[in-house]
Copies of this chain bind each other. A is one copy, B any other.
Amino acid sequence: MRHAVPFHLVIVPPPAGRSPREYLVEELRTALLAGEIRANEPLPSSRVFAEAMGVSRGTVVSVYEELAGEGYVVSVPGSGTFVAEDLPRPDLAAAPTPARSASGRRGRGVPRHQSPNPHSRQAYAAPPHSRQANATPASGRDVAAVRAVVNLSPGSPSTRFGENREWISAWRDAVRHDLPSLPPPDGGDPELRKSIAAHLRMARGVRCDVEDVVVTAGTSDGLGLLLHGLRAAGAPGLRIATENPGYPTARKVIDRLGAIPVPISVREGGMDLAELGRAPGPFAAALLTPSHQYPLGGRLPVAARLALLEWARKADAVIIEDDYDSEFRHGAPSLPAIASLDTEGRVVLIGSFSKILTPWLRCGYLVIPDPELRARVLEVRATLGQPVSGFVQSALAEFLRSGGLKRHLVRVGREYRHRRSLVIAAAAELGPNVRLDAVEGGLHATLSWTTGRTDAEVVAALAARGVGLAALSAYYHRDTRPGRRGIVFGYGAPSDLELRTALAAITEVLNS
């Protein structure tokens, strides 16, 4: 039986045994890519389409949301859902195709240009010419062949949010009153600390007291604060064990604040604990990304987590657990946070809302179970000043409390899983010497190889094709030799179509 829905597209209702939502997303995506619906045309209302397909209206809303997240359609509040303007149309594929501009998807007040900074997993930006309309004619009928310009900054999250009512109302509540005459407390807004503790219990199984939570302006601020607090304990020239390769920004913060980042190699599954055990001490701390090693991926097994706790006990060191994107698992289940295995208060959990919401917010947290260390950290905060706006803290507390963040994570998690499948499909077309890593969670991937072109050459070739991403070598400690050559890229921020374009360029360059 075929239902004609009241526009010119004809779709068979979902067959039994298939998820109606997945089926409809796929059918519409195919129809859109085939040019069966034109740019700016309206899709049927969710009510009409739901009736025609014999599914619930909620299913259709969720299908439209997913397609909007992928960039195929655009929702206009109060008007309906429309086919995106910049959809490649096969019948015009040989003609110039305007690329989607950054401003079309960003809010007012968002900077158009950012200085490129390959040493940050947040701030890496494409070359200056990126994200501008590119009039190079598309070379064929394949979507992936459209030469758009795409920024695959590792770690940049999805920007799709629209006019999120829960978000706007949380901010309105935060700013509608008389002005407070004092700054926020040193540890942060009590309501936000409560919301963060609840979020960590739900998302990471970490049971922490509200008092353990210290609000920060993000991971770098949290790390800096912690280093100041550790230094107050005595030792000058603190030595901090860091993953190699690892997060270059963290190494730079450690370096700038007069501490010493000591590189420890990363093996399958994370930091090489044997190497850590052999490394001459003393260590004030070890900084790790045990749930999703950055940038290589991999999870530290539970036995290694327990061994690390034992090392920390013997070394009298603190473990800094950077759980930067654990909210997104794709298949592989979460392992318990080291913080949740810790009975002695040796683990400090560090995190932020940069990846799960937006780095524009500048808000994160430390969870410090040890009261002495926490008191030192709060003393430093009191001296150097609270940087996190009380308005930000109140609004975020309310957005967490109301469940708005939870719903946002479900929406973007679905987007990321879909885009990750595109990355995996593209990687399957690469030669056997290229290895795909880090796709078991989060919103970035690495492709690496051992011989042949340097990663700098590959990054340059891709930049020439309008694709901005990072070289794996930038993640290695400057005094060590990179173990593998590779590229690191994010699939959180680009639209589905941008990602397809970029992946086509990546496979083309790596296979050539």
Binding site for B on A (CB under 8 A): 105-111, 114-115, 117, 120, 122-123, 125, 153, 156-163, 167-168, 171-186, 189-191, 217-221, 224, 228, 249, 252-253, 256-258, 354, 357-363, 380, 382-395, 397-398, 492-493
Bound complex: CA A397 to CA B108 (Å): 12
User: Is B184 touching A360 in the complex (CB atoms < 8 A)?
Assistant: yes
User: Is B110 touching A180 in the complex (CB atoms < 8 A)?
Assistant: yes
Chain B nearest Cβ from A191, distance in angstroms: 6
The 5 closest A-B pairs by CB, nearest first: A107-B177, A220-B385, A217-B387, A109-B394, A387-B387
Interface centre among A109, A183, A224 (most CB of B within 10 A): A109
Chain B nearest Cβ from A488, distance in angstroms: 16
Bound complex: CA A382 to CA B249 (Å): 9
Q: Which of B177, B186, B392 contacts A391 (CB 8 A)?
A: B392
Bound complex: CA A39 to CA B173 (Å): 28
This chain's copy number in the assembly: 2
For residue A158, which residues in chain B have a CB less than 8 angstroms away from its CB? 179, 181
For residue A109, which residues in chain B have a CB less than 8 angstroms away from its CB? 173-174, 177, 189, 191, 390, 393-394, 397-398
Q: Which of B114, B177, B354, B363 contacts A161 (CB 8 A)?
A: B177
Q: Which of B115, B179, B224 contacts A185 (CB 8 A)?
A: B115
- Chain A interface SS verdict (over half): loop
Supposing A122-B183, A182-B114 touch, asked if A107 and B388 sit within 8 A by C-beta, the answer is: no
User: Is B107 touching A176 in the complex (CB atoms < 8 A)?
Assistant: yes
Interface centre among A123, A160, A219 (most CB of B within 10 A): A123
User: Is A177 touching B106 in the complex (CB atoms < 8 A)?
Assistant: yes
Q: Which of B178, B252, B393 contacts A159 (CB 8 A)?
A: B178
User: Is A178 touching B107 in the complex (CB atoms < 8 A)?
Assistant: yes
Interface centre among A159, A357, A391 (most CB of B within 10 A): A391
For residue A123, which residues in chain B have a CB less than 8 angstroms away from its CB? 182-183, 382
For residue A256, which residues in chain B have a CB less than 8 angstroms away from its CB? 228, 380, 383-384
User: Is A111 touching B185 in the complex (CB atoms < 8 A)?
Assistant: yes
Residue of B nearest to A157 (CB): B181
Residue of B nearest to A186 (CB): B115
Chain B nearest Cβ from A146, distance in angstroms: 21
For residue A157, which residues in chain B have a CB less than 8 angstroms away from its CB? 179, 181
Bound complex: CA A114 to CA B386 (Å): 13
For residue A383, which residues in chain B have a CB less than 8 angstroms away from its CB? 220, 249, 252-253, 256
19 more A-B contacts (CB under 8 A) besides A388-B389, A392-B392?
A: A106-B178, A107-B176, A107-B178, A108-B174, A109-B394, A111-B184, A115-B185, A156-B181, A156-B182, A171-B172, A171-B174, A181-B359, A181-B492, A217-B387, A218-B385, A220-B385, A221-B384, A253-B383, A257-B384
Bound complex: CA A432 to CA B207 (Å): 62
Bound complex: CA A387 to CA B157 (Å): 18
User: Is A360 touching B390 in the complex (CB atoms < 8 A)?
Assistant: yes
For residue A388, which residues in chain B have a CB less than 8 angstroms away from its CB? 217, 362, 387, 389
Chain B nearest Cβ from A499, distance in angstroms: 13
Residue of B nearest to A170 (CB): B175
Q: Which of B191, B252, B384, B393 contacts A224 (CB 8 A)?
A: B384
